[in-house]
Amino acid sequence: MTMNLLTQIAGSRLPVSFHRTEDIDQVRVLRAAGLVVALVPSPSDPLSLSGSATAAQVLAITEKGREELAKFSYPQSPAPRWRFRMPRIKTTAHARPPGPPPANRGDTARPH
């Protein structure tokens, strides 16, 4: 389940925040394993190490985290090509056929 979260993080724009308790606990595990750089709040009751945390924020995936992702062959598919394509610009101007440029319109002399 934690590797699924790491895969989700890798596919997201960083930094990414998590607010559910289960996700915060998984971010703690990823950070403890050295797979991500994250800001995880300390428990609200430091003596008993318990209490609800409000959010965790993942700032980056470490080199070790990227190596773990590579073991699971992430990314499984290439990045979408539409992100790299330039938009097609359609013009309504008349296209000239290939060949010599048109004659000077100011020239009145015409060959017979």
Here the tokens at position 88 are 């097609």
What pLDDT is stored for residue 41 in this prediction? Answer: 81
pLDDT of 109 over the 70 cut: no
Q: Look at 76 and 14; give whichever has higher pLDDT.
A: 14
Cα separation, 40 vs 33, whole angstroms: 14
The two structure tokens encoding residue 103: 């004659």
Tens of pLDDT, residue by residue over 17-60, are: 999 989 999 999 999 999 999 998 876 655 655 556 688 999 99
**Of all residues in the chain, what percent carry a pLDDT higher than 70?**
54
What pLDDT shows up at residue 59?
A: 96
Beta strands in the chain (DSSP E): 16-18, 36-39, 56-61
Average pLDDT taken over every residue of the chain: 78
Continuous segment of H or E residues that includes residue 56 = strand 56-61
pLDDT of res. 62? 96
